[in-house]
Structure 1
C-alpha cells in the first residue's frame, strides 16, 4: 500500500528519509527515476540514506510502476519518491492506487518561478500538477511533516509565468 508519493528533485536524502519515516512508518521506499535507476553511484548514496530496516528499490518509471502493482507490496507501507511532476503523473497513470502527493523540494532554475520557499516550478511542472489534481489526487506542499500542509490550489493561483 502506498502511504504517500513525494516529489523531491534530490530524491532520497537524510531529511526525507528520517523525517518522513517517523510520520509515515513506512517499510519500503520506491524511487521512480529513469536516471537514478542506471546510476550506481546515486543508488549507493541513496542506500546509505535509507533508514535501517527499510527496503529500498530504485527503478525506472515503468519498472517502479510494475513493482508497485505487485501484490506483495500490499502488505507493506510504501513511500514513493519521484523527482518531478511529470514522473509522478506517469507513475500514477500506470498504477491503480491514488495516494496523496507531497510536493517537497524542487530547486530553482532559470525556467522556474517560486511556488513556495523550497519549491520552484516551470510551466511544464504546473501542467502535470494540474493533471494530477484532475485525477482527484490530493496535493500538499511542505518539506517535512512537522510543517503545516499548504494546499496546492491557493499556491497554484498565485503562479504567473
Structure 2
C-alpha cells in the first residue's frame, strides 16, 4: 500500500478534495477516518456522494483504520487519507506507514489557536503531535487548493511564539 496523500480538513471529503487533490494524487481509494461520520449512517451516505469518479471510498472510524492498516488490507492500493486531526497520521506512522507529506487544509478556528493561513489553524495542544510527525520525515505544509502556495506550518508556529 502506498499513501499518496494525507490531508487534515474539517470538511473531510468535499469538492476541492474530490476534483483536484485526489485526482492529482492518482489514488485508487479515498479513506476518510473520522469516528463521528463513520458512526452516522446519514453523514456517511452524504459524504459518499462526493466520491471522485473511479475511486473507491472508505469511511471508517480510527479503530477500524488502524486494524485494517495493521492487517495490510490496503497493500495493493494507492490511498489518499482524510482526517480532521493530526493524531491518526501519527498513529499510522507508528504502525510503520510512510507519509511523505501531510497537507493542512481547512480547519475550524479554535480558541487560542495558531493561524497558519486564512483557512487553517492549529491548536496549541497539537503542536507536539505535528513535531512528532515531522520527526518521522514527513513534510507538513498548509494549502487549501492544489494551486495555493504551500506554507510551512512551523514557520507560522514560530511567528506566533
TM value normalised by structure 2 = 0.88
Question: Secondary structure at 1:106's aligned position in 2?
Answer: coil
Does the aligned pair in 1 maintain the 2:116–2:142 contact within 8 Å?
no
Within 5 Å, which residues of 2 pair with 1:50-129? 50-71=51-72, 73-129=74-130
Equivalent residues, number: 160
The answer for the alignment partner of 1:130 in structure 2 is 131
Output one character per residue of 1:95-142: Cα deviation in whole Å (capped at 9) or x when no partner: 432332111111213342312111012111222111211222111110
Unpaired segments ≥5 residues, structure 1: none
Give the match's secondary structure for 2:104.
strand
Shift of 1:3: 0.2
What RMSD over aligned residues (CA atoms) do the two structures have, in Å? Answer: 1.8
Q: Whose helix fraction is larger, Structure 1's or Structure 2's?
A: 1
Deviations 1:36-82 (A, max 9, x none): 11011211111001112211111111211233345452332110011
Equivalent residues of 1:3, 1:24 under 8 A apart: yes
Could you tell me how far apart the structure 2 residues matched to 1:98 and 1:52 are?
A: 24
The 1-side partners of 2:70 and 2:6 are apart by 15
For residue 10 of structure 1, what is the aligned residue in structure 2? 11
Runs of 4 or more consecutive aligned structure 1 residues displaced over 6 Å after TM superposition: none
Aligned residue number for residue 149 of structure 1: 150
Which range moves more in the overlay, 58-67 or 8-17? 58-67
TM-score (norm 1): 0.88
